[in-house]
């Protein structure tokens, strides 16, 4: 999985973080991350529950 997301502040999430989130959320990962980014919750340091 090679998905790089760009939060509202212009920072990027590393592939490792994306893979970790993918392992946690599974198929819903993309929707979950996009929702968080749209809400402006993700900044330079992603929050992993």
> Per-residue confidence of the chain (49 residues) as pLDDT tens digits?
455 555 545 455 555 566 666 666 665 555 555 545 544 544 555 555 5
pTM given for the model: 0.20
11-45 burial, b if ≥16 CB within 10 A, otherwise e? eebeeebbeebbeeeeeebeeebeebbeeeebeee
Count: domains in the chain: 1
Q: Which domain holds residue 49?
A: 1-49
- What pLDDT is recorded for position 12? 52
Q: Sign of torsion, CA 19 6 40 46? A: positive
Pick from 30, 31, 39, 42: nearest CA to 6: 42
Please report the pLDDT score of residue 45 as a whole number: 54
């Amino acid at each position: 999985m090679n998905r790089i997301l760009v939060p509202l502040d212009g920072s990027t999430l590393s592939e490792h973080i994306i893979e970790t989130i993918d392992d946690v959320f599974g198929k819903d990962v993309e929707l979950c991350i996009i929702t968080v980014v749209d809400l402006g919750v993700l900044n330079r340091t992603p929050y992993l529950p």
